[in-house]
Structure 1
Amino acid sequence: MSLYGSIQSAPANSRGFDADTVLSSATAQQFAAQGYTFCLRYLSLGAEQDAGDLSSSEASDILASGLALMVVQHVDDPGWSPSQNTGQTNGNNAATNADSIGLPPGMNVWCDLEGVAASSTAQDVINYCTAWYSAVSAAGYVPGLYVGSDAVLTGSQLYDLPFQHYWQSCSEVPALPERGYQMVQTLVQAPVNGIGIDQDVTQTDSFGGQVLWLTGSGSTSGQ
């Protein structure tokens, strides 16, 4: 059963955060009271959600606090080797886990691209990303790409991928030609409200594209 809410395009200059820590209802409310408008939590790499990653109850608490919600899938340990098969498996798992939480189709589900083995070729990464995109898109979600350190691909190669939503990490990464990024991450050194976070700010890309998040208001609808 889908979580109650609506999928919306995120206004530019919205301030949010990503966290690899379960948010209690009280903590989510603290962030909302401090002017944060959204958060990103994690989907597991495996076929089922792990303890510590997003659950249905946590998602409900986040939405009830007034924060909008998006999800990003964990990436493997640094030095991992991408392939088409791995991309398909991870993409299928991301979609399955998003659905198990009750996240409705039409919202962004993000692929974390970073820490790729130095021996990997650009084509290996392209094959991985394309297969991941296809698996997530086939499930009705809107794939997005988080571009982190050691992603191997140039800006032009990133742009040529099928993604239409890009998230710039706080690491030094290539500029994205023509389109640009829809969300930019900033490193936060000290814990906020007792947890480690990175800050994220939305922006409208050069094609008018914006990230798609789930909010707790209104009825569920895909866009």
Structure 2
Amino acid sequence: MSLSGNIQSAPANSRGFDADTVISSATAQQFAAQGYTFCIRYLSLGDSQGAGDLSSSEANDILASGLALMVVQHVDAPGWSPSQSVGQTHGNNAVTNADTIGLPPGLNVWCDLEGVAASVTAQNVINYCTAWYNAVSAAGYVPGLYVGANAVLSGQQLYDLPFEHYWQSCSEVPTVAVRGYQMVQTLVQNPVNGIGIDDDMTQTDLLGGQALWLTQNSAV
């Protein structure tokens, strides 16, 4: 069963956070009261959600607090080797897990690209990203790409991918040519409301694109 809510474009200068920790209803309400407007939680690389990953009940708690919601898939351990077949598998698993949670089509589902082995060619990364994109897009979700450290690709190569939604990590990364980023992440050193987070700020990219989130309200 799909989560109830509306898919909306994220207004520029909306402050949110990403967290690899289950968010309780009380914690979600704390963040909302402090002016955060959205939360990004995790999907598993495997074909089922792990204990610390997003669940349907947690998603409902986040939405009920007034926070909007997006999801990002975990990345493999640093030094991993992307390929077309791995991208297809990871993309298919992202779809399976998003569907199990009840996330509706039209929502941004983000691919985490970082920590790639130094020996991997740009073409292998391109093949991975394209296969991931195709699997997620075919299911009706809107693929986005988180660009982290050691992603291998240049700004032009990132733009040449089929993605239209890019999220800049807190690492030093190239600017996506022509388009730029729709979200910018900032490192947060200390726990907030008892959990580790990174801050994220939305913006409209150079082509007018914005991130797409799920909210339970008509406006955030």
TM-score by length of 1: 0.97
Report matched runs for 1:110-129 at 5 Å. Answer: 110-129=110-129
Amino acid corresponding to residue 145 of structure 1 in structure 2: L
Distance 2:118 2:34 in 1: 41
Distance 2:38 2:81 in 1: 32
User: SS of the counterpart of 1:48?
Assistant: coil
What is the deviation of 1:66? 0.2
Q: Which residue of 1 aligns with 2:206?
A: 206
Residue-by-residue CA offset, 1:18-66 (whole Å, 9 max, x unaligned) = 0000000000000000000001000000001111100000000000000
Distance 1:42 1:177 in 2: 27
What is the deviation of 1:201? 0.1
What is the deviation of 1:177? 1.4
Distance 1:24 1:74 in 2: 20
Residue-by-residue CA offset, 1:132-171 (whole Å, 9 max, x unaligned) = 0000000000000000000000000000000000000000
Residue-by-residue CA offset, 1:147-198 (whole Å, 9 max, x unaligned) = 0000000000000000000000000000111111000000000000000000
What is the deviation of 1:17? 0.2
Q: Which residue of 2 aligns with 1:133?
A: 133
Report matched runs for 1:188-207 at 5 Å. Answer: 188-207=188-207
Distance 2:125 2:85 in 1: 11
Residue-by-residue CA offset, 1:102-136 (whole Å, 9 max, x unaligned) = 00000000000000000100000000000000000
Q: Which residue of 1 aligns with 2:83?
A: 83
Q: Which residue of 2 aligns with 1:14?
A: 14
Distance 2:52 2:196 in 1: 14
Q: Which residue of 2 aligns with 1:221?
A: none
Q: Which residue of 1 aligns with 2:102?
A: 102
Unaligned ranges ≥5, structure 1: 219-223
Distance 1:75 1:97 in 2: 15
Amino acid corresponding to residue 209 of structure 1 in structure 2: G
User: SS of the counterpart of 2:199?
Assistant: strand
User: SS of the counterpart of 1:85?
Assistant: helix
1:168 matched to 2:168? The reply is yes
Q: Which residue of 2 aligns with 1:93?
A: 93
Distance 1:215 1:188 in 2: 25
User: Superposition RMSD on alpha carbons, in Å?
Assistant: 0.5
Amino acid corresponding to residue 148 of structure 2 in structure 1: G
User: SS of the counterpart of 1:91?
Assistant: helix
Q: Which residue of 2 aligns with 1:67?
A: 67
Identity fraction in percent: 83
Distance 1:132 1:93 in 2: 10
User: SS of the counterpart of 1:41?
Assistant: strand
Distance 1:125 1:200 in 2: 25
Q: Which residue of 2 aligns with 1:216?
A: 216
Amino acid corresponding to residue 116 of structure 1 in structure 2: V
Distance 1:182 1:120 in 2: 27
TM-score by length of 2: 0.99
User: SS of the counterpart of 2:36?
Assistant: coil
Q: Which residue of 2 aligns with 1:182?
A: 182
What is the deviation of 1:217? 2.0
User: SS of the counterpart of 2:85?
Assistant: helix
Distance 1:14 1:217 in 2: 15
1:35 matched to 2:41? The reply is no
Distance 1:98 1:114 in 2: 21
What is the number of residues matched between the two proteins?
A: 218
